[in-house]
Amino acid sequence: MRDFVWADELTDEQDDDVRGLLLAARETDGRPDIEPGGSLPGEFAGPRHLLCRVGDGSSGSLAAYAHVDVQGDAFGRKVAELIVHPAHRRQGHGTEVLAEVLRAATGALRVWAHGDHPAAARLAERFSLKRVRELLVMGASSAEHEWPEPELPSGVRLRTFVPGRDEQAVIDVNARAFDWHPEQSAFDVEALLAAQRESWFDPNGFFLAENGDGRVIGFHWTKVHPANPKRFGGLPVGEVYVVGVDPDAQGGGLGKALTLAGLRHLRDLGLGRIILYVEGDNAPAVAVYRKLGFSTVETDVQYEKGS
């Protein structure tokens, strides 16, 4: 017997149960990015939460969990994440949870399928969901590539991020560079300040490009992930987290120069594997990354229910 509970805010007990489910999923799948004792990943923050328990009502085991971001992406589309506990898989819980999420949804809704698993594709077909987005995870070995010194456009200099001074300048570039992006375009100063409080934040790996007037016209924000036994060979990896170039400064090689600066920094940290996320339909960016030695290692997919 399944018991469904919707909640806008998790109780301490529910939070512990969800955390346990996410950690179990990470142990099996390598995802989501959550550490024991750490906070829930950002994609599970805010309303609404759906808990599916099996057994004795509200005290039963948490078999599956879904989070629906009701605020939605930058274009107002609600976004859902759905995870079934590894111990309760292949018992129909995922199907029933997705059915409940779709039943409760109003307006456009997108559902993530991380890893593009065939079972997710079958579920999408069953519920007439349309495949609308592919997010590629690309990877490269730093030991196999001699990434050269970046060649900056004339009059441009490179420096690292200064907390407390550069937030607005970065967000201004970000807003102009990613006005088309469903998540990144909504990134703001408050979110950047919150990221600086995370244990992984390192200003020395956050590169800014300034023009002759001292205005920030581009940035490359890198990130280091701890070892994950189920992904990328179980070793720590560096990430090309965000590369943003002001549209007025595009076309002169600045994006490539910023990317190279970050890649060389991550390599010098001793990280043998570098990853990045890029939209599958962003052909120019994918082409640049392939020339730098990256290849697709995973694909995340969004399926959409129409309004």
Q: Which residues are annotated as a binding site for acetyl-CoA?
A: 82-84, 243-245, 250-256
- Cα angle: 34, vertex 36, 42; to 5 degrees: 30
Q: What is the DSSP letter of 198?
A: S
Binding-site residue numbers are 82-84, 183, 223, 239, 243-245, 250-256, 277
Can you list the positions of beta strands (E) in the chain? 2-7, 49-54, 61-69, 78-84, 109-113, 130-141, 157-160, 206-210, 216-225, 237-245, 273-279, 295-305
Buried b (16+ CB within 10 A) or exposed e, 250-264: eeeebbbbbbbbbbe
How far from the centroid of its chain's Cα atoms is residue 257's Cα?
Answer: 23
